[in-house]
Amino acid sequence: MLLRFLAFVVLMAGVPAMAAGPSDPSEHALEAVTKALCQRQVAVLGEAEHGDARTEVFKIALIERLVARCGFSAVVFEASFYEFVQLDRVRRAGRTLTPEQIATAVGGLWKFDREFQPLLPYLAPQANSDNLRLGGFDFQQGGREQDFTNFGVVAELTGELPGETSERCRISFRDLLFKGSNPARRTAVAACLTEMAKLAPSADPDVRRERREMLANLTAYAAADPAQPGSYIASRDREMFANFQRWLARWPAGTKVIVWTATAHAARAPHGHKDFAGVQPFGGYLAERYGKRAYALGFSAQSGTTRGRPAPRVIAPAAPDSLEALAGPIAPARARAALSR
């Protein structure tokens, strides 16, 4: 799986990062990766698992460099499409985005991480000054504290239906969200989606487009069966790419975009994990559409810990003949020399 990426950065996961200096291995990696990404249109930043502290520190430093040095002007997250639609509405209305609003849209996979916190006060003023555009491309509902995603979007799309139909549909979506997906609930939601598609179009062309796109996301999400992981992931990654394209269609031609996601989704080809076997990942769609204009960066670790539930998970030390051991920051000098030949 590793060699399906254009590049990898090997870090010590779970170890707090110090400020990078000229002799710091992470500084050399930042410079090398910045150079590799600078001329691309799409820079996809993966991570081995959500909660890899050093990876988040590195990605944030890289984002700041890509924006300042290379003309990247958008960041999209593996996060709720619906919630970022709401953020875009705030921006269009001329209101100020706050770090807290951005954190809510990004969601619980990252917003509670100490290492992620510095990105929020960086993104907010950049977005408010129109230096950066923000987006999310996940169709899922159920994110913590994401009230628009979980309730508001359905309320908006059923708001003009007859009262009895509107209430029935809201209950159907809540049951799917809180009681779990099964054939009966998916059938009930599908019937509601048919009714929701009849909603009279808004006079505002932006709202009209957003409602059409949110309806497409809800349709794909409700039809996906989480009991079939491969099929569910395939549907999710396909809609991720559709949402990515929807954001780019709003923005100026040639906008350079940074993507914050997991390495499993950034991959350009199907890989060995049982749930992803045979699945076209998000990165594969990007590679087909953008070719060498897109660059996928993966992260790995020689050892350390990563966030786990209910307790941190220990990463087993890398095997002596692994890529991590040969290329990582604590690799023996002789291994580095052998790899460079």
pLDDT by 10s per residue, the chain, length 341: 333 344 556 543 333 333 344 445 578 889 999 999 999 999 999 998 887 778 999 999 999 999 999 999 999 999 999 999 999 999 999 999 999 999 999 999 999 999 999 999 999 999 999 999 999 999 999 999 999 999 999 999 998 899 999 999 999 999 999 999 999 999 999 999 999 998 888 889 999 999 999 999 999 999 999 999 999 999 999 999 999 999 999 999 999 999 999 999 999 888 767 777 888 999 999 999 999 999 999 887 777 777 777 777 787 787 877 767 666 655 555 444 443 44
Instruction: Retrieve residue 241's tokens.
Output: 């790419």
112/95 Cα distance (integer angstroms): 25
Measured in whole angstroms, how far is the alpha carbon of residue 55 from the centre of its chain? 14
What is the pLDDT, as a whole number, of residue 328? Answer: 62
Exposure string of 42-52, with b = 16+ CB inside 10 Å and e = fewer, is bbbbbbbbebb
251/76 Cα distance (integer angstroms): 12
DSSP 8-state symbol, 291: G
Nearest to 272 by CA among 75, 65, 1: 1
3-state DSSP call for residue 182? Answer: coil
CB contact at 8 A, 73 and 132? yes
What is the pLDDT, as a whole number, of residue 24? Answer: 56
Q: Residue 234 is inside which H or E element, if any?
A: helix 229-250
Q: What is the 3-state secondary structure (H, E, C) of 102-126?
A: HHHHHCCCCCCCHHHCCHHHHHHHH
pTM: 0.88
What is the pLDDT, as a whole number, of residue 332? Answer: 52
Enumerate the β-bridge partners of residue 136: 77
Residue type, 12: M
